[in-house]
Structure formats: structure tokens, C-alpha cells
Amino acid sequence: MKVDMRVNIAGVTFKNPVITASGCYGFGGDYTDFYPLSRLGGVCLKGTTLEPRQGNPPPRIAETPMGMLNSVGLQNPGGHAFVTEELPRLTGCGTVLIANAAGSSIESYVGLVELLEGTAIDMIELNISCPNVKEGGMAFGATCEGAARVVRAVRGRTTKPLMVKLSPNVTDIVSIAKACEAEGADAISLINTLLGMRIDIKTRRPVLNQVMGGLSGPAVFPVALRMVWQVAGAVSVPVVGLGGIEKWQDAVEMMMAGAAAVQVGTASFYDVYAPVRIIEGMEAYLEREGFGAASQLTGIARK
Amino acid sequence: MKVDMRVNIAGVTFKNPVITASGCYGFGGDYTDFYPLSRLGGVCLKGTTLEPRQGNPPPRIAETPMGMLNSVGLQNPGGHAFVTEELPRLTGCGTVLIANAAGSSIESYVGLVELLEGTAIDMIELNISCPNVKEGGMAFGATCEGAARVVRAVRGRTTKPLMVKLSPNVTDIVSIAKACEAEGADAISLINTLLGMRIDIKTRRPVLNQVMGGLSGPAVFPVALRMVWQVAGAVSVPVVGLGGIEKWQDAVEMMMAGAAAVQVGTASFYDVYAPVRIIEGMEAYLEREGFGAASQLTGIARK
Amino acid sequence: MLQKAYPLIGRTLIAPHTHSFSIDCPDMAALARPGQFVHVRLPGFLLRRPISVCQITQDGLRIVVEERGAGTEEMARLGSGDLIDLLGPLGNGFLTEAPHRRAVLVGGGIGTPPLLPLAEHYHKAEVFLGFRSADRAILTEDFEAAGATVTLATEDGSAGHHGYVTEPLEQHLARHGADVLYACGPEPMLKAVQALAAKYHVTAYLSLEARMACGVGACLGCAVPILTAEGVVYRHVCKDGPVFPAEEVVL
Amino acid sequence: MLQKAYPLIGRTLIAPHTHSFSIDCPDMAALARPGQFVHVRLPGFLLRRPISVCQITQDGLRIVVEERGAGTEEMARLGSGDLIDLLGPLGNGFLTEAPHRRAVLVGGGIGTPPLLPLAEHYHKAEVFLGFRSADRAILTEDFEAAGATVTLATEDGSAGHHGYVTEPLEQHLARHGADVLYACGPEPMLKAVQALAAKYHVTAYLSLEARMACGVGACLGCAVPILTAEGVVYRHVCKDGPVFPAEEVVL
Ligand SMILES: Cc1cc2nc3c(=O)[nH]c(=O)nc-3n(C[C@H](O)[C@H](O)[C@H](O)COP(=O)(O)OP(=O)(O)OC[C@H]3O[C@@H](n4cnc5c(N)ncnc54)[C@H](O)[C@@H]3O)c2cc1C
Ligand SMILES: Cc1cc2nc3c(=O)[nH]c(=O)nc-3n(C[C@H](O)[C@H](O)[C@H](O)COP(=O)(O)OP(=O)(O)OC[C@H]3O[C@@H](n4cnc5c(N)ncnc54)[C@H](O)[C@@H]3O)c2cc1C
Ligand SMILES: Cc1cc2nc3c(=O)[nH]c(=O)nc-3n(C[C@H](O)[C@H](O)[C@H](O)COP(=O)(O)O)c2cc1C
Ligand SMILES: Cc1cc2nc3c(=O)[nH]c(=O)nc-3n(C[C@H](O)[C@H](O)[C@H](O)COP(=O)(O)O)c2cc1C
Ligand code: FES
Ligand code: FES
């Protein structure tokens, strides 16, 4: 019997539980030399804001043990260009399209999600957790009140399924997740990057122009898994787990902790095939272990 | 010219800036086959509580990418045995002795530091950041009020220099550091472990008996460095930096970020000589680069 | 205790996914005792892997490793001439009695290797080895070469006794008794051996496993519950063990 | 674009800490153009390292790597027969003109390798190479073999012109001009070349470096400020570059 790889999140069916993470996959066109987008469960597109943003000055990248820092700073062409230029290229690509919506004020979040109404976007991932922007971003995601305010404002203005992406740089991730759920979030995704830093001992200066940046990659996996475990135990909406997933085993671990699906980010930077290998490895594992459906993995370590 | 490796923290002179981290060096006796304690700047002894604690049930250890989780749970023989059995073995060992004082209530912290008065202990590291105990520990370190309460209570009862060790599992490390400074902390050390988790996909259960544990090792280095940078920029007492330091380059980075000294924990588990290699590497570097004293490194990346 | 990178002088596959390594480390071998272990650092892994000493010679050590996860799989990629970073010898090893005493050794699967040095110590050890199947059996000839009598058991009956090794063990104890018994293997086997040792009043030692970080007693990671006069307390496999008196082990 | 592990067929030390690698990768070579780069994955490092294509043959690629940090040091430990994991060819490479046009190539230090395929394209390229000292000079014979005229400069005067390479370059441009100029090297050199190209009205292209993650345009990590009609915007070295028209580069 073939394993049923499909998962359903907030009414949207994904053909498999592997989604590429926002900011790590551009607007979907950069990896099509290697495999078609239709292979993926879904694609979270690059973080987009209402107005265009040119992002932070370089250097934007630093390496860390089994991780990396980035301070891209939400460079993007703005909501209008996103809808008129980027989205049309993706029509018929055969995968679930998720817009990653960021903002520096409540109004800008609202303006953006309104722009997305009526587009081909299947789901909105509300990014209240970007550590690389001065205003908004993580500031909203750092408190229950901040998170609740954004979700409430946006919830009223979109008919699309709404997934809220949380920051790990907080004392109490569970309360924030619950606050988002209470305001009508249809799903929670976590984690965004941990705030980190490197210094170049040759130049005696921070490596990143912005001094601090977001840590991602395998190094953060145990933190991500812990937070997914905590949040999945506290909310009843689906949780999408990410942070450091590079192998199918990591994806299985994440789902066993309670995730309904996973996202893969940094791993694609060093292995372009990572998302596909994870899908294939998970499918083989499920078959070997006699699971009928991928969704049966979700939370089995909690039982 | 020989480099002056000494650093002074809260009136205590360390012969070099490398201290072994609490919980990673037992009570100082386990590595003496490899090099004498006198080679070290200082030793932070295993976390000690007023009453003996048997620690958490096993498994207590899990591996992660470039990191590890532990859930030892402050296993220790209690303050009395610490003073009467462990400390006497260390007299004349030729390094700075730092007791790592933990507690589950204000009273237990106070009782312990009172026991330490008049002993050979040179400094107290107040552990308000252990993620592996149900009561006290990280709970105190998670809020400014909690941290301030412990520091205030303890400060009045000890004449020893008081270093407060902070948890990284918080939204705002700077406010907590400032709260500790305001209550009379003589130094701040950070970071303790990040809360993390692993699942064994074979057994489909969390690896650790306690489900979650503390993440340490190189994986956490960029987070530690960022927090040291933030705190050193906000307090005027010395900051001791730790978290993932394994090479002299890491120690130099940490000091450039603002640390007056560093601690080395997990690295000793895979290279028993790590602390010594760091001391030697740092000394050679300082000489090569024409520094007169190790203390000149502190904060130079901030200038 | 030493920490050094030593040259590997040979690797042999002795059963599926099970490799015997000879390591050129005379200085570490000179310190090693039966029942101790070495802590192996592998490229790409933070934590060392504990592996028992299987043979001690003038020239070095032999270890036998079964691939059970990513670390031991990495170890299996090492070959002759490669360097292997060891910390050791660690642990207390087995308490041995006079060589003429009647010793019984009980090994299950990859728990077998640490018993071999005991067979070399005791003149005529009675050795009971259990494996999943005949092709998984390891070291039987080495035990025989050391003068021991080997009784084999396999779960699938493909060699020796069909069933668990504790079955022929019990027959032996019932008939001949023993002065001292040593066991290493999976937990269910140790549990059964513990019960038999009690039943037949044999002094027995069990070698335990635990997830380790430091290997030297510094981290308190490798805790196992041990019954003492003050009740059950945690002892540490790396420093207090890996061998504990059977009656003190809480399984 | 391909991602694959290819066999290394040789490594030669061509200057202190500078290695030339030949890689058996005909399929990737068939796609490669001058000025493109490959992104190299190294065991123990998360991020790939971008390295320019230095020679393109039917059988594969040649790259030249200077040890500048932990990753390039790790690369220097690779030897014949080892596999090397490449993603490539990446980037846009150099815009080339007809082979008979008068091309000037300016390389500084480890910026030299990407220029060699240009020397093979242009019939009689004028090549200006600057190094710290004579022993650091690389590829001069390869350029000459490609039919180019090489002018060498060293900072310590141990070979060729004593001083910066931009000094003989300026003399040449003043005297002979050029149709097109390509430069790769350290930032101060690029800055000087940019100024000379403007002064002598030569179409010029600069190859830039930036810290990279993905190498394919997906992460927006490798930003460099570029002057466009709408002002200064960030472009990406991996996808829009590494080569940019000199007048658009903001240094
Ligand atoms: C004292 C002692 C002696 C041992 N002697 C031998 C021997 O002679 N031959 C042999 O093949 N094996 C022996 N083992 C078991 C061996 O240490 C594990 O099989 C090995 O650590 C697994 O590592 P891995 O990376 O392949 O597995 P993974 O499951 O990927 O390892 C993940 C983590 O768990 C730890 N771990 C997993 N299983 C065990 C285990 N059973 N015991 C301790 N830690 C574990 C690993 O060390 C690592 O830290 C011994 C264990 C101990 C404690
Ligand atoms: C398009 C391009 C082509 C290049 N071609 C060559 C070449 O042909 N030969 C050669 O020797 N070098 C070349 N370089 C430079 C080479 O990529 C760096 O020297 C190398 O990445 C340093 O890695 P490391 O681990 O040794 O140094 P570390 O300083 O330890 O590296 C730390 C991190 O910074 C990055 N980094 C450090 N220096 C640079 C740099 N100058 N450019 C980009 N990233 C850097 C590394 O990739 C890594 O992510 C090129 C760079 C670019 C962008
Ligand atoms: C270069 C880079 C850019 C990112 N940009 C975004 C973004 O625009 N929006 C967002 O929500 N997350 C962004 N992230 C965070 C990732 O989506 C993801 O949450 C994080 O990297 C952890 O997952 P990983 O370890 O699999 O990469 C970015 C991460 C990286 C590395
Ligand atoms: C096994 C283990 C036990 C620890 N026990 C203590 C402790 O008792 N008290 C304490 O303050 N920190 C304890 N820590 C935290 C370390 O002192 C240190 O803060 C942390 O490990 C980060 O540093 P590292 O990455 O260099 O190990 C422990 C860490 C480990 C790995
Ligand atoms: S492994 Fe550290 S105490 Fe045993
Ligand atoms: S390196 Fe990712 S966009 Fe250039």
C-alpha cells in the first residue's frame, strides 16, 4: 500500500508535509533547475512587505558551527510587485503557495494582506518574528499583546488561511502561541531565527554590518523541536515545525513532536536537493514502518 | 615582552581569563591526570544546593548538531558536604575557586551562601538559570523581579564577590542583567544552557527522561556571543562570557565582544585539553598581535 | 588516563555491521584493565562514543564495534592507517579473583567484547554467549583460544541452543554452580542473569551502559540507579562503573 | 546548474598556501563560461565556499584556491581521488566581445584565476598581475601560454614592477588605450581600476566578492550596492554577478 503523504493544514491540502521556508527559497524560481516545484508540499515565499524594502547593507551572512547568521532584512520588491510580477510566474506550479507577510506597523500588515485577497496565494504566513528589521518584525512577536494585536487586525481583513510564524527569542513561547490562536490564527509555524552574532577577529569588528543576525541551520534544531513540542501541546490549531531540519530523520522527529508539517530552510543552501531527499526519505520510512499516512506521525511521541 | 594574561574580576585576580564552567568540571578532580588545576584561570565548581540532590533520572544526555543536551538536574551532595568534603581537597590547588550556588527558594540560596562564608571559595556564581530543575533555577532567572529578589537576598548575606549567571531563555537579557547589577551583583556570567529537546525516532519517545534539557556546545556560541555583546554594553560590572567556546579564537571573539574572562564547559568533554589549548592559543595570539595584556581584548570590537 | 590520536592498524568485519579494530597504542594498553573502556572521538560528532576494551596486548588495544547509529557508522568508515582519537582507559573494569576460580562469563550480542580479557585472566572460564542468529555470533573462537568453554545460544536457533543464553546458563549454574559471574549485554539479559545469580548465590558483576558526555566523572551525565545502604542513589557508569555488583544494580 | 560530488584528479601547490585543483566534471564544464564560479561544499562546514572557474576543458574544470580561513584550509587537505561536492556553474560570468578586440585583464592576488579563461578567449590579451611578492605570483605562465602579454607587479619589488599593478596599467592605458577591461582582485585595486577605466574611457567589468549562502539567488545574502537608474540598489553577486559593469559598482 502506498503511504498517503498528504497533510491538511487549515483546510489546505499539501501533497506532502515538506514546505520550503521563507527567505530560503526566493520567490520559487531559483531551484527549478534541480527539481520541479510540484515535488514540494508547499513553498513559503520570501518575506514581503507592503512597500518595497532594499534590505540591510552587506555583509549579511556569517557562518557558525552547524549554523549561519543572516541579516538580509526583508529585502523585497513590495506587495504590489509581489502580486503583479512574482505571483504570475508561479501560476500552475503545482504546489501550495504561501505568502510570508511582514510589516513595520499594523497598518502595513493589513495593507499587505488586503493586497493578497483574490490572488493565487493559498495561505498567508504572518511573519511577526523577523529579527533583522528595526521596526515591527520581532517586536510584535516578542509579547503576547504585540502578537495578538497584529493577528487580530489581519484576521479581520483576509479570508485566506492564516498561519502565524513565531520568534524563538522569547521567554514564553506557549503564551504567545495561545494569544495568536485566541485571535483566530489557523495555524502556527515556528521557529524563525534565533538572534546571534559573530566577530571577525582579524578585523576586530562584528562580521555582519548589522552586528546581529538570525541564526538558522542544524544548530538550532533542538531548540526548535522543544518549542514545537511545547506549542503543539498547548494549542489545538496545527503547528508547522521548522528550524535546522536537514534530513528526513529530523522531519520525522519534528512531526513526532507534534508538527503537522515541516519547513526546510538553510539546508537547501548546502544541499539543493534537501527538501526532495527529505520527502523521499520520509516516504520510505513510513512505508518501512507500516504507517498508512504521513499525518499519523504528528505527535506520536507525546502519547 | 611576555603578555600579561591576568584579569581582574570583582577584585579577584585570575592568572588567565579561562575558567572551567560549572557542571562540566565536577569538583575539580577529574581532569588532574591531564594538567594541574593551577594551569587554569579559575574553576567554577559543580552547581551546589543547600540540601543534597540526587538529580534527574537517566537518560540525561543527548547529542545534537555541534551541541548536546543535558538534564543532570543539579545532582550534588549538598552545601555541607561541599564545604566539608569537596573544598578541603582543593586547598592549595593554585587557581581561583568559584562556587556555583543554586537553590529552589530564596531561603535555600541564602542558607547556602551563608555556609560558604569563611571557606576557601574566592567567588560565588549565583546560578539562577538552571533549566533542569522543577523549582527555582531558571524560574528566578526568567524575570527581572525574580532575579532581583534572589540577588538582593543573597547580597546581604555574603562578603564574597558575587557573580550572577543568567539564562539565555528570555526575551530581554539586558533588563535582567541590569536588575542584577542594581541589586549589587559584582559580575555577570552568561549564558547557561538553552532549553532544547530530542526525540529518538526508534523508540518514538523523547531521548531525555525529563523530555527537555539544556543545550550547550559550539551550536550555541553565536547566541552566547550576542548576549554577551548586549549585556556588556549595558552594565558596568565585568561580564564573563561562555557558551560553546572550544577554540582560542572563540575565546578571543568573546572577549572582543566585551567579556572580561571566559568559561569553557562542553569542549572539555570531547577534548580534555580544551581549556589549556585555549589559554596557550590566546597567549600566542596576543603576543603575535602585540597586545601587552589579555585584558586589552575586552570589548575592542565595540570601539 | 590518556587522550591521544593513535594509528589504526587494521579493521576486520567479523559479523554483519560489526568490526574489529586493532589500535597501535602501547602506552594506553599498558594502563588498561579488563572491563574498562575507551572514549572515541569521531569527526563530525560532538560527543565521544564509549567502546569496551576487548583485548589488551603489549602493542595496543583491540575493540569491537557494532554499527548502531550515525557515530558507529562513521567509525566503520575508518581504515588501516587512519588516526583514531581515544580518551582512556576509563572506568573501573572488572574486579577479578584468582585465575583458578570458577568464572562464568555471560555475553549478549555486542556485550560480548569486554568479556574476552576475563577469559584470558581465568584459566578455564565457562562462557555463555547469546546472539540473534549464527551469522551474528562474534569472538567465539577467541574465547576458545583463551582456554574457555563456549556455549552458544541463538534466538533463531541457527546455531547452538535455540533460545536465550540464560537457559543453558541456568542449567550450568544449577548443576555446577560458580565462584564468580560476569555479564554484559542487553538489559533483559542482565535482568535474567541478576535473578539467576541471586537464585544460585553466585557473586556476580554486571557491566552497564549509559549515554555519556565526559567519560571521566565530571558531568554526571551517565547516571544509573544503584542500591546502597542509603537506598537507591545515582552512580556513574564512567567512573563508578561500568561494572557494578549485580545485587546493587536496579534494572 | 548541477550539484554533484566529482573526483579530484590532482592538486598542485602553485604558491605558498595556494593550490590548483583539477576536477573531473565534464558535464559541469560543458555548461561553464568564463567568470562563473562553483560553490564548494566541505566536510564540517555548513556553507559552501565560492571559487572561480580558472580553466574550462572538455574533461572538467580547474580551480585555484588560496588558504584564507578554516574552509579553504580544509580544501587544501583534499587530494587526488577525493570527491569534491560542487554546485555550479553559478553566476553570469564575463560579457565577452569579439576575440580580436584589445582586451586588458587586471588581476590582484587570488583575483587572478577567473581571468585566465578570458586570456584564452581574446587572442592577444594584455594582462596585468599584481602580487605581494615574487613567490606569490601565480598563473603567469598559463597566461603566456594562452598568448597573452603579462606585466607583473609586486608590492615588495621582488619581481616585475615594484609597486601596485595599477601603475603599469595606467601607463598602458595612457599609451595604448583598450577596447575592454576586466578586473578581479582586492577592493582597493578594483577602486583604482574603476577610476582608470573612467579616466581612459574604457568599457570595464569588475568581478566582486560577497559572503554567500545559497549561491543561486534564493537567500539574498550576497548583496552588493549597485548604481542603477533608480539610484543605488542591492544586487546579488551570485546571480546578478559576480561581474558588474565598472561604472555601476559602488566601492
Ligand atoms: C561502557 C560502555 C561500553 C560499550 N562498549 C561497546 C563496545 O565494545 N562495542 C560497541 O559496539 N558498543 C559499545 N557500547 C555502546 C556504544 O557506545 C553505542 O553503540 C554508541 O555510543 C552508539 O553511537 P551511535 O552514534 O552509533 O548511535 P546514536 O544512537 O546515533 O548515538 C546518539 C548518542 O547516544 C549515545 N548512545 C546510543 N546508544 C548508546 C548505548 N547503547 N550506550 C551508550 N551510549 C549510547 C551515543 O554515544 C551518542 O551520544 C558501549 C557503551 C558503554 C556505555
Ligand atoms: C564569486 C567569488 C569567487 C571567488 N573565487 C575564488 C577563487 O578562485 N580562489 C580563491 O581562493 N578564493 C576565491 N574566492 C574567495 C573565497 O570564496 C574565500 O576565500 C573563502 O570563502 C574563504 O573561506 P574560508 O573558510 O577559508 O574563510 P573564513 O573566513 O573562515 O570563512 C568564513 C565565511 O566567510 C566567507 N568568506 C570569507 N572570505 C570571503 C571572501 N573573500 N569572499 C566570499 N566569502 C568569504 C566564507 O565563504 C565563509 O562563509 C571567491 C569569492 C567569490 C565571492
Ligand atoms: C537567509 C534567510 C532569510 C530568511 N528570510 C525570512 C523571511 O523573509 N521571512 C521569514 O519568516 N523567515 C525568514 N527566514 C527564517 C527561515 O524561514 C526559518 O524560519 C529559519 O531559517 C529556521 O529554519 P532553517 O534552520 O531550516 O533555515 C530566513 C532565513 C534565512 C537563513
Ligand atoms: C552536563 C552539564 C552540567 C551543567 N551543570 C551546571 C551547573 O550545575 N550549574 C551551572 O550554572 N551551569 C551548569 N551547566 C551549564 C554550563 O556551565 C554552561 O553554562 C553551558 O554548558 C554553556 O557553556 P558550554 O557550551 O561551554 O558548555 C551545565 C552544563 C552541562 C553540559
Ligand atoms: S559521562 Fe560524565 S560523569 Fe560519566
Ligand atoms: S548567495 Fe544567496 S542570493 Fe546570492
Q: What is the mean pLDDT of residues C230-235?
A: 94
Judged by a CB distance cut-off of 8 A, whether residue A194 touches chain B is: yes
Look up cell 577591461; give the residue.
Answer: D181
pLDDT band at residue A135, thresholds of 50, 70 and 90?
low
| Cross-strand bridge partners of residue B261 | B240
B254 CA to chain A: closest CA distance, Å?
A: 8
Catalytic residue chosen out of the listed positions A24, A130, A144, A180: A130
- CB-nearest to A58 from D1, D45, D224 is D224
Distance CA D119, CA B106 (A): 76
Please give all residues whose beta carbon lies within 6 A of any atom in ligand 6, as ranges.
D 212-215, 217-222, 236, 238-239
User: What does the mean pLDDT of chain A come to?
Assistant: 96
D residues 34..53 contacting A (CB < 8 A) = 41, 45-48
In chain B, the number of structural domains is 1
- CB-nearest to B54 from C1, C213, C234 is C234
Cβ contact D223–A75 (<8 Å): yes
Give the residue from chain C lying closest to B267, CA to CA: C46
Least confident of A195-204, B132-141, C30-39: B132-141
Looking at the domain assignment, is residue A161 inside a domain? yes
How many A from CA of B217 to the centre of ligand 4?
9
- D223: nearest Cα among D203, D245, D241: D241
Q: Residues D159-190: pLDDT tens digits?
A: 999 999 999 999 999 999 999 999 999 999 99
User: What does the mean pLDDT of chain C come to?
Assistant: 96
Chains that touch C (3 or more CB pairs under 8 A): B, D
Kindly tell me if the per-residue pLDDT of A1 is higher than 80. Answer: no
Distance CA A191, CA C14 (A): 45
Q: Which ligand is nearest to the CA of C221?
A: 5
How many C-beta neighbours within 10 Å does residue A97 have?
21
Residues of chain A contacting B63 with CB distance shorter than 8 Å:
none
**Beta carbon of A70 within 6 Å of any ligand 3 atom:** yes
Is residue C246 within 8 Å of C184, Cβ to Cβ? Answer: no
Q: Residues C172-221: pLDDT tens digits?
A: 999 999 999 999 999 999 999 999 999 999 999 999 999 999 999 999 99
pLDDT at residue number B69: 98
Averaged pLDDT, groups of 10, chain B, 303 residues long: 93 98 95 96 97 96 98 96 96 95 94 96 94 71 93 96 97 97 98 98 97 98 98 98 98 98 98 98 98 98 92
Residue of the nearest CA to atom 6 in ligand 3?
Answer: A23
Q: Which ligand is nearest to the CA of A100?
A: 3
Residues of chain B contacting A211 with CB distance shorter than 8 Å:
229
ipTM above 0.95, yes or no: yes
Specify the ligand 5 atom closest to the Cα of B61.
1
Per-residue b or e along D116-134, where b marks 16 or more CB atoms closer than 10 Å to that residue's CB: bbbbbbbeebbbbbbbeee
Cβ contact C222–B61 (<8 Å): yes
Looking at the domain assignment, is residue B201 inside a domain? no
Mutation choice for ligand 6 from D239, D240, D244, CB with most ligand atoms inside 8 A: D239
Q: Note the Cα B184 to chain centre separation in Å.
A: 18
- CB-nearest to A269 from D47, D223, D239 is D47
How many A from CA of D238 to the centre of ligand 6?
5
pLDDT at residue number B132: 72
Q: What is the mean pLDDT of residues C102-112?
A: 96
Judged by a CB distance cut-off of 8 A, whether residue B81 touches chain C is: no
**Beta carbon of D113 within 6 Å of any ligand 2 atom:** yes
Distance CA C126, CA C103 (A): 6
Mutation choice for ligand 3 from A123, A167, A193, CB with most ligand atoms inside 8 A: A193
Distance CA A143, CA A129 (A): 11
Is residue D244 within 8 Å of D208, Cβ to Cβ? Answer: yes
Is residue C103 within 8 Å of C18, Cβ to Cβ? Answer: no
Helix (H, G, I), strand (E, B) or coil at D145: helix
Residue of the nearest CA to atom 14 in ligand 2?
Answer: D51
C48 CA to chain B: closest CA distance, Å?
A: 6
C230 CA to chain B: closest CA distance, Å?
A: 12
- Greatest Cα-to-Cα distance within chain A, rounded to the nearest angstrom: 60
Looking at the domain assignment, is residue A208 inside a domain? no
In CATH terms, D103-209 corresponds, of 2.120.10.80, 3.40.50.300, 3.40.50.80, 3.40.50.1700, to: 3.40.50.80
Residues of chain A contacting B142 with CB distance shorter than 8 Å:
171
Looking at the domain assignment, is residue A201 inside a domain? no
How many A from CA of A197 to the centre of ligand 4?
21
pLDDT band at residue A303, thresholds of 50, 70 and 90?
confident
Cβ contact B223–A171 (<8 Å): no
pLDDT at residue number B136: 63
Residues C2-90: name the CATH superfamily: Translation factors (2.40.30.10)
- Domain residue spans of chain D: 2-90, 103-209
CATH code, domain with A84: 3.20.20.70
Looking at the domain assignment, is residue B288 inside a domain? yes
- CB-nearest to B201 from A142, A205, A252 is A252
**Beta carbon of C218 within 6 Å of any ligand 5 atom:** yes
- B187: nearest Cα among B219, B235, B130, B136: B235
The grid coordinates of residue C144 equal: 576458545
Tell me the CA distances in angstroms from B217 to A200, B214, C250, D45, D197, one per residue in order.
Answer: 20, 10, 32, 16, 50
pLDDT at residue number A136: 63
Eight-class DSSP state of B31: T
What stretches of chain C show up as alpha helix (H) in DSSP?
26-31, 70-75, 116-121, 140-145, 166-176, 187-199
Looking at the domain assignment, is residue A13 inside a domain? yes
Looking at the domain assignment, is residue A199 inside a domain? no
- B278: nearest Cα among B11, B19, B14, B10: B19
Residue of the nearest CA to atom 19 in ligand 2?
Answer: D68
- CB-nearest to D234 from A46, A59, A75 is A75
How many A from CA of C50 to the centre of ligand 1?
6
Judged by a CB distance cut-off of 8 A, whether residue C5 touches chain B is: no
- Phi and psi (nearest 5°) for B18? -110, 120
Kindly tell me if the per-residue pLDDT of D123 is higher than 90. Answer: no
Specify the ligand 1 atom closest to the Cα of C54.
8
Helix (H, G, I), strand (E, B) or coil at A43: strand
Specify the ligand 3 atom closest to the Cα of A70.
1
Q: What is the mean pLDDT of residues A231-256?
A: 98
Q: What is the 3-state secondary structure (H, E, C) of B134-197?
A: CCCCHHHHCCHHHHHHHHHHHHCCCCCCEEEECCCCCCCHHHHHHHHHHCCCCEEEECCCEEEE
pLDDT band at residue D139, thresholds of 50, 70 and 90?
very high
- CB-nearest to B30 from C45, C212, C218 is C218
Distance CA D129, CA D17 (A): 18
Residues of chain D contacting C44 with CB distance shorter than 8 Å:
43-44
Looking at the domain assignment, is residue B112 inside a domain? yes
pLDDT at residue number A130: 78
Specify the ligand 3 atom closest to the Cα of A125.
11
Which amino acid, C245?
A: P
Kindly tell me if the per-residue pLDDT of D117 is higher than 80. Answer: yes
Cβ contact A217–D225 (<8 Å): no
Query: Percent of chain A having pLDDT more than 70?
Result: 98
Q: Residues C75-93: pLDDT tens digits?
A: 999 999 999 999 999 999 9
Q: Note the Cα D189 to chain centre separation in Å.
A: 13
**Beta carbon of A41 within 6 Å of any ligand 3 atom:** no
D97 CA to chain A: closest CA distance, Å?
A: 28
Residues of chain C contacting D43 with CB distance shorter than 8 Å:
43-44
Single pTM value for the model: 0.97
Domain that residue A171 falls in: 7-56+72-194+216-302
| Cross-strand bridge partners of residue C229 | none
Is residue D204 within 8 Å of D194, Cβ to Cβ? Answer: yes
Contacts of C230 (CB under 8 A, 6+ apart): none
CB-based burial of residue A107 (10 Å sphere; 0-12 exposed, 13-18 middle, 19+ buried)? Answer: exposed
Catalytic residue chosen out of the listed positions B93, B130, B144, B180: B130
| Cross-strand bridge partners of residue B12 | B9
Kindly tell me if the per-residue pLDDT of A156 is higher than 90. Answer: yes
A170 CA to chain B: closest CA distance, Å?
A: 4
Q: Within 13 Å and on the Cβ side, how many CA atoms surround A95?
A: 27
**Beta carbon of B266 within 6 Å of any ligand 4 atom:** yes
Q: Is B93 a catalytic residue?
A: no
**Beta carbon of C215 within 6 Å of any ligand 5 atom:** yes
Q: Which ligand is nearest to the CA of C240?
A: 5
**Beta carbon of C88 within 6 Å of any ligand 1 atom:** no
Higher pLDDT, A136 or C231: C231
How many A from CA of A193 to the centre of ligand 3?
6
Mutation choice for ligand 4 from B30, B66, B167, B216, CB with most ligand atoms inside 8 A: B216
Helix (H, G, I), strand (E, B) or coil at D127: strand
